[in-house]
Amino acid sequence: MDVTKLPIGGLIMGALAASLAITFALAFDQTVDTSGESEGSPEPTQLPPEGVDLVIAMIPTLKFDQTSLSIPANEEVVIQAANKDGSVTHNFAVYTTKTAADGGQDALGATRFCSRCDEVLTLNLQPESYFFWCDIHPNIMTGTLTAE
Protein backbone atom coordinates (compact mmCIF):
# COMPACT_ATOMS: atom_id res chain seq x y z
CA MET A 1 0.00 0.00 0.00
CA ASP A 2 1.41 3.39 -1.01
CA VAL A 3 0.71 5.85 1.85
CA THR A 4 1.48 8.83 -0.38
CA LYS A 5 -1.74 8.10 -2.34
CA LEU A 6 -3.95 8.19 0.79
CA PRO A 7 -5.74 11.45 1.64
CA ILE A 8 -3.63 11.74 4.77
CA GLY A 9 -0.47 10.50 3.03
CA GLY A 10 1.05 13.98 3.03
CA LEU A 11 0.45 14.23 6.76
CA ILE A 12 2.09 10.86 7.37
CA MET A 13 5.08 11.73 5.18
CA GLY A 14 5.43 15.10 6.92
CA ALA A 15 5.34 13.47 10.35
CA LEU A 16 7.97 10.93 9.27
CA ALA A 17 10.19 13.69 7.89
CA ALA A 18 9.80 15.75 11.07
CA SER A 19 10.61 12.80 13.34
CA LEU A 20 13.65 11.97 11.22
CA ALA A 21 14.86 15.57 11.44
CA ILE A 22 14.38 15.60 15.23
CA THR A 23 16.24 12.30 15.56
CA PHE A 24 19.23 13.64 13.61
CA ALA A 25 19.18 16.91 15.56
CA LEU A 26 19.21 15.07 18.88
CA ALA A 27 21.95 12.69 17.74
CA PHE A 28 24.05 15.61 16.50
CA ASP A 29 23.56 17.44 19.78
CA GLN A 30 24.82 14.36 21.66
CA THR A 31 27.99 14.05 19.58
CA VAL A 32 29.06 17.66 19.07
CA ASP A 33 30.43 19.60 22.02
CA THR A 34 30.10 23.33 21.56
CA SER A 35 31.47 24.19 25.01
CA GLY A 36 35.06 24.02 23.79
CA GLU A 37 35.82 21.07 26.07
CA SER A 38 36.28 17.67 24.53
CA GLU A 39 34.55 14.67 26.05
CA GLY A 40 37.89 12.92 25.81
CA SER A 41 39.88 15.69 27.47
CA PRO A 42 42.65 14.32 29.62
CA GLU A 43 42.14 14.32 33.34
CA PRO A 44 44.23 16.73 35.38
CA THR A 45 47.84 15.62 35.71
CA GLN A 46 48.30 13.25 38.61
CA LEU A 47 51.32 11.48 40.01
CA PRO A 48 51.82 8.00 38.57
CA PRO A 49 51.04 5.05 40.84
CA GLU A 50 53.87 3.71 42.97
CA GLY A 51 56.40 1.82 40.86
CA VAL A 52 55.30 3.57 37.66
CA ASP A 53 57.39 6.33 36.08
CA LEU A 54 54.94 7.51 33.41
CA VAL A 55 51.26 7.05 32.58
CA ILE A 56 49.70 7.34 29.14
CA ALA A 57 45.96 6.90 28.73
CA MET A 58 43.79 5.77 25.86
CA ILE A 59 40.77 8.06 26.04
CA PRO A 60 37.38 8.26 24.30
CA THR A 61 37.32 9.07 20.60
CA LEU A 62 40.23 6.74 19.84
CA LYS A 63 43.21 8.76 20.99
CA PHE A 64 46.04 8.89 23.48
CA ASP A 65 45.90 11.63 26.09
CA GLN A 66 49.46 12.58 25.07
CA THR A 67 51.21 12.37 21.72
CA SER A 68 54.67 13.29 22.98
CA LEU A 69 56.40 11.51 25.86
CA SER A 70 59.85 11.95 27.39
CA ILE A 71 61.73 9.42 29.49
CA PRO A 72 65.27 9.19 30.85
CA ALA A 73 67.65 7.31 28.55
CA ASN A 74 69.70 4.28 29.55
CA GLU A 75 67.62 3.33 32.56
CA GLU A 76 64.59 1.14 33.20
CA VAL A 77 61.38 3.12 32.91
CA VAL A 78 57.98 1.71 33.79
CA ILE A 79 55.14 3.04 31.65
CA GLN A 80 51.52 2.38 32.55
CA ALA A 81 49.08 2.32 29.64
CA ALA A 82 45.63 3.04 31.06
CA ASN A 83 42.77 2.19 28.71
CA LYS A 84 39.93 4.56 29.65
CA ASP A 85 38.19 4.29 26.28
CA GLY A 86 35.17 2.30 27.44
CA SER A 87 35.00 -1.17 25.96
CA VAL A 88 37.27 -0.31 23.02
CA THR A 89 40.35 -2.56 22.81
CA HIS A 90 43.77 -0.86 22.60
CA ASN A 91 47.44 -1.43 23.30
CA PHE A 92 50.55 0.75 23.55
CA ALA A 93 53.51 -0.28 21.38
CA VAL A 94 56.90 1.41 20.93
CA TYR A 95 58.95 1.06 17.72
CA THR A 96 62.25 2.47 16.51
CA THR A 97 60.44 4.45 13.78
CA LYS A 98 57.07 4.71 12.06
CA THR A 99 58.65 3.04 9.03
CA ALA A 100 59.65 0.09 11.23
CA ALA A 101 56.10 -0.16 12.62
CA ASP A 102 54.54 0.13 9.16
CA GLY A 103 56.97 -2.50 7.88
CA GLY A 104 55.90 -5.04 10.49
CA GLN A 105 59.12 -5.02 12.52
CA ASP A 106 58.85 -6.20 16.09
CA ALA A 107 58.03 -3.57 18.69
CA LEU A 108 60.72 -2.63 21.21
CA GLY A 109 57.98 -3.20 23.76
CA ALA A 110 54.21 -3.44 23.80
CA THR A 111 51.36 -4.01 26.19
CA ARG A 112 48.77 -6.69 25.58
CA PHE A 113 45.49 -5.84 23.83
CA CYS A 114 42.77 -5.05 26.36
CA SER A 115 39.80 -2.86 27.18
CA ARG A 116 39.11 -1.06 30.48
CA CYS A 117 42.51 -2.04 31.84
CA ASP A 118 45.88 -0.82 33.03
CA GLU A 119 48.91 -2.51 31.49
CA VAL A 120 52.56 -1.93 32.38
CA LEU A 121 55.52 -1.84 30.01
CA THR A 122 59.17 -1.59 31.08
CA LEU A 123 61.65 -0.03 28.64
CA ASN A 124 65.36 0.78 28.73
CA LEU A 125 66.13 2.88 25.65
CA GLN A 126 69.19 4.60 24.22
CA PRO A 127 69.01 8.40 23.72
CA GLU A 128 66.86 8.69 20.62
CA SER A 129 63.41 9.57 19.35
CA TYR A 130 61.02 6.62 19.03
CA PHE A 131 57.55 6.07 17.58
CA PHE A 132 54.53 4.70 19.43
CA TRP A 133 51.04 3.71 18.39
CA CYS A 134 48.09 1.50 19.17
CA ASP A 135 48.52 -1.58 16.97
CA ILE A 136 44.76 -1.77 16.46
CA HIS A 137 44.31 1.91 15.47
CA PRO A 138 47.67 2.75 13.83
CA ASN A 139 46.39 5.55 11.62
CA ILE A 140 44.90 7.65 14.39
CA MET A 141 46.60 6.74 17.68
CA THR A 142 50.27 7.66 17.31
CA GLY A 143 52.98 9.65 19.03
CA THR A 144 56.65 10.22 19.74
CA LEU A 145 58.63 8.91 22.71
CA THR A 146 61.95 10.65 23.36
CA ALA A 147 64.62 9.07 25.53
CA GLU A 148 67.05 11.75 26.71
Q: Where are the domains of the chain?
A: 1-32, 54-147
Q: With 80 as the cut, is the pLDDT of residue 94 above it? A: yes
Average pLDDT, the chain: 81
> What local confidence, expressed as pLDDT, does residue 49 receive?
76
> What are the tens digits of pLDDT across the range 110-133?
999 999 999 999 999 999 999 999
Amino acid of residue 135:
D
> What local confidence, expressed as pLDDT, does residue 40 receive?
44
pTM of the model: 0.68
Class of domain 54-147: mainly beta
Q: With 70 as the cut, is the pLDDT of residue 65 above it? A: yes
